[in-house]
Amino acid sequence: MAGTVRIIRRFISATIAISILMLVFNFILLGVWVFKGINEGHSPGIVVQKVAKGLHPSANTYSLDSSSAELLNQNNAWAMLIEDTGHIAWNYMLPDELPEIYSRADVAKFTRSYLMDYPVFVWEHDEGLMVVGYPKKSLAKYQHILPITWVSSLPLRVASLVIGNIALALLLSLFIGSKLIRSIRPLVQGIQGLAEDREVYVEPKGVLANLAQSVNRASDLLQQRNNSLKNRDEARSNWIAGISHDIRTPLSMVLGYASDLEENIEIPIEQRHQARIIRRQAEKLRSLVSDLNLVSMLEYEMQPLNKNPIRLSALARQIASEFLNNGLDEHFTLEVEILDEGVKVNGDEQLLTRAITNLIQNSIVHNPDGCQIRLQISLDEEYKTCSFVVADNGMGIYQNQLPDLLELPYSAKRKHPRQNGHGLGLPMVARIVKAHQGHLILYSDIEKGFSAEIVLPSIMSD
């Protein structure tokens, strides 16, 4: 599952980032805090160095400059200068308890550690050895004696420490993450199901129980809404089908008797003519009823499609021949332009014929002075879609009226009232095309002709 994998990947990288950040932070803290603590004020090494430099011999005795004295006072430290003979040549604030003579062994001993518990530090001086002592228990002296191999492998050790930390963080985050994912997975599946409009149920348990309940409630609501929408569509479609049915029976009688009267030679010619008008109007009503029914079935996706592979070029020739055979007015020309003979679509032949016929009929009806009508079949470069264009060079309509043409007549979405015809022709075409997973594109402008392009998914021709 792509979603959970992504979540766990994010989770792990976040954990790694956090642990690296913490490592860096710790190092900085260690550096700043610990080493600053050690070097608070002047380090004893520097103090003893300065004191050694600040002590000058002057007329049999020594004088300490004021800055060094200040330094010693600040640290509560004492100082002494031991001559090569082991005697104290000079001192400053020397505690009384200390001996006055030091052997070399003594010097070696206190240099490494303490002089009578005073932490002491030594530095060379022209006249002997400078010793600075700090108060008892104020400083701890450690000697770090490290093997060279340990020192040289230090970077490696630090690196492996860091890597070990990262690996541990990774393992921990994987463990925690997978536990989390296990509890999230049903939720993720549930939400994905919602997006795909499936009915879902997530067992509400664990920390995310109320989230699961929300998902379940959302699913229930969606299903309810879908059902009510479907019911409403079905009701509408059935209502229109019912009306059509109820109109058809009385219309049979009108049509039947009108055409009977029309053919009755015993009736005066004028009345027969009137009967013919009744018959023609009844026929109009008949086509309106069946168009209305078809459009409503398509609108509510209840029209069964009888799909078969159809070669568009054959369909175009068939429809064009039909128009010419039925006596196309001489003001009109109809030509077929096949750019790709083999283009095939999977479609309902009757419905597609109906759509193309509607488009040609539109061109004829809206251009009473005649026009050239062109049917064109083409395939796109990627062989995925093909188009069936019905174009005329007639009067055209304003561009801004084009969107209106696809809306059902009397629909609130329609901005302008319909002009002529029952207005179902183009909406029917659009819905037939949609039922074939295609789309309808209209181009027109005033005096620039009208062109309708039906774009359909093509199937590979063999």
Partner 1 sequence: MDEIKNKKLLIVDDEDEIRNMIDGFLRKEGFARIYHASNCVEALEVCRSVKPDIAILDVMLPDGDGFSLLSSLRQISNMPVLFLSARGEDEDRLLGLGLGADDYIVKPFLPRELILRLTAILRRVYSPPMQEQRPVFQLGGRTIDLEGGIVENDGTEYPLTAKEYALLFKLYESRNRIVTSDALCQAAWGDDYYGYENTLMVHIRRIREKIEINPSSPEYLLTIRGLGYKLVVKEV
Residues engaged in binding partner 1 (CB under 8 A): 241, 244-246, 248-249, 251-257, 259-260, 263, 282, 286, 290, 293, 297, 304, 306, 311, 313-314, 317-318, 320-321, 324-325, 335-338, 341-342, 350, 461
Token pair for 414: 């329609």
In angstroms, give the least distance from the CB of 10 to partner 1: 52
In angstroms, the CA 151 to CA 32 distance is 22
Which is nearer to partner 1, 188 or 336 (by Cβ)?
A: 336
> Residue 243 is which amino acid?
I
In angstroms, give the least distance from the CB of 349 to partner 1: 12
In angstroms, give the least distance from the CB of 246 to partner 1: 8
CB–CB of 432/354 below 8 Å? yes
In DSSP terms, which residues pair with 79 in a beta bridge? 92, 132
CB–CB of 261/275 below 8 Å? yes
Which is nearer to partner 1, 11 or 257 (by Cβ)?
A: 257
In angstroms, give the least distance from the CB of 325 to partner 1: 4
In angstroms, give the least distance from the CB of 386 to partner 1: 14
Which is nearer to partner 1, 192 or 461 (by Cβ)?
A: 461
Q: Beta strand 88-92 with 307-311: parallel, antiparallel or unpaired? A: unpaired
CB–CB of 131/109 below 8 Å? no
In angstroms, give the least distance from the CB of 271 to partner 1: 18
Which is nearer to partner 1, 19 or 237 (by Cβ)?
A: 237
In DSSP terms, which residues pair with 90 in a beta bridge? 81
Compute CA distances 374 → 9, 148, 326, 336, whole Å: 58, 94, 18, 6
> Residue 9 is which amino acid?
R
Strand ranges for 239-384 from DSSP E: 307-311, 333-338, 344-348, 372-379
Which is nearer to partner 1, 248 or 434 (by Cβ)?
A: 248
Which is nearer to partner 1, 259 or 372 (by Cβ)?
A: 259
